[in-house]
């Protein structure tokens, strides 16, 4: 077996042209090389393959049996290599048949993935979407291993080693069911604290959130009576009870069962970004997906 590390790819290109032209001068012209340089390549090829390859003939050169055997597989190999290193073709969304793997919370599924679906169905009808639960501690590894293609997560505590693009900044609003008797007008801070609150605790079972930190700075506290792991359950609970919540505006602003208003206490919002790994950073299909996401949010 020939050690491939010993082979200069340029020698194989020269051999391919020599087998077509069967003439050193014409091969040199096609290769934009000097005739002596092509002769040097041929000498190296003869030594490498232990065969004369091309012999003098009445009308140029004629290939040996070894050279004839090399002709077809060499041409096929060079064409395959040329295709492999060719620039990536533009992404054809209308005919693409692939699956996008997206890591998201139920909040980002509602605010990003859901509006994205309409765009994908229209512009890339043969593609599919697989949504995965977002697990921040696994995000970088999942992206590196190709388990997910893209993820949506807060910019704060961003996963390391991934590309990031900020999508939007979210703000908190006070939310309750439409017609809630205590939300006919914007409550005072004291009235806010007297209401029964629900919160989302994605770690599970927590009864403290950023609103409590903001109230504590004012020497006040509220009563949190419901802690749920998902925003969608929170929305359902608010619509069917007299509970209130400080919720992200994008999650509730289009829900006809709920009403929202600016809270009487300033609670810092958060920024949502999309994340992806270097392995897909320059991929035309992935770049198209990122552009779609940016446009729909």
* pTM greater than the 0.85 cutoff: no
| Tens digit of each residue's pLDDT (9 = 90 or more) over 157-173 | 888 899 999 999 999 99
With cut-offs at 50, 70 and 90, classify the pLDDT of residue 2: low
pLDDT computed for residue 1 by the predictor = 55
Q: What is the mean pLDDT of the chain?
A: 92
Query: Is a pLDDT exceeding 80 seen at residue 130?
Result: yes
Query: For the chain, what percent of residues have pLDDT higher than 70?
Result: 98
What is the structure's pLDDT at 160?
Answer: 87
Beta strands at 150-154 and 270-276: parallel, antiparallel or unpaired: antiparallel
> Distance (Å, rounded) from C-alpha 201 to C-alpha 87?
47
Q: Which pLDDT tens digit goes with each residue over 98-126?
A: 999 999 999 999 999 999 999 999 999 99
Binning pLDDT at 50, 70 and 90, where does residue 45 land?
Answer: very high
Residue 93: which residues within 8 A CB-CB, separation 6 or more?
A: 123, 124, 127, 288
Q: How would residue 203 be classed by pLDDT, with cut points 50, 70 and 90?
A: confident
What are the pLDDT digits (tens) for 49-89?
999 999 987 777 899 999 999 999 999 999 888 877 877 67
């Amino acid at each position: 077996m020939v050690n491939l590390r010993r082979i200069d790819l340029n020698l194989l290109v020269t051999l391919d042209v020599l087998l077509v032209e069967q003439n050193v001068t014409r091969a040199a012209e096609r290769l934009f090389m000097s005739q002596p340089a092509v002769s040097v390549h041929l000498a190296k090829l003869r030594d490498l393959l232990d065969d004369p390859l091309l012999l003098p003939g009445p009308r140029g050169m004629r290939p040996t049996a070894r050279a004839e055997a090399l002709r077809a597989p060499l041409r096929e190999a060079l064409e395959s290599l040329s295709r492999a290193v060719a620039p990536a073709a533009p992404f054809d969304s209308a005919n693409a048949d692939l699956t996008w793997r997206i890591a998201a919370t139920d909040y980002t599924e509602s605010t990003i993935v859901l509006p994205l679906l309409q765009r994908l169905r229209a512009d890339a009808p043969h593609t599919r979407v697989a949504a995965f639960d977002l697990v921040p501690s696994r995000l970088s590894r999942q992206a590196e291993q190709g388990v997910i293609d893209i993820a949506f997560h807060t910019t704060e505590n961003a996963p390391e080693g991934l590309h990031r693009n900020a999508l939007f900044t979210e703000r908190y609003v006070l939310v309750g069911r439409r017609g809630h008797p205590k939300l006919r007008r914007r409550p005072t801070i004291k009235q806010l604290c007297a209401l029964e609150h629900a919160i989302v605790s994605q770690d599970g079972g927590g009864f403290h959130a950023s609103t409590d930190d903001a109230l504590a700075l004012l020497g006040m506290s509220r009563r949190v009576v419901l802690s749920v792991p998902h925003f969608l359950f929170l929305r359902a609970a608010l619509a069917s009870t007299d509970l209130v919540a400080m919720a992200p505006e994008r999650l509730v602003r289009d829900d006809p069962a709920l009403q929202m208003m600016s809270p009487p206490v300033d609670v810092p919002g958060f920024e949502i970004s999309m994340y992806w790994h270097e392995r897909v950073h320059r991929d035309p299909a992935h770049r198209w997906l990122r552009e779609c996401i940016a446009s729909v949010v």
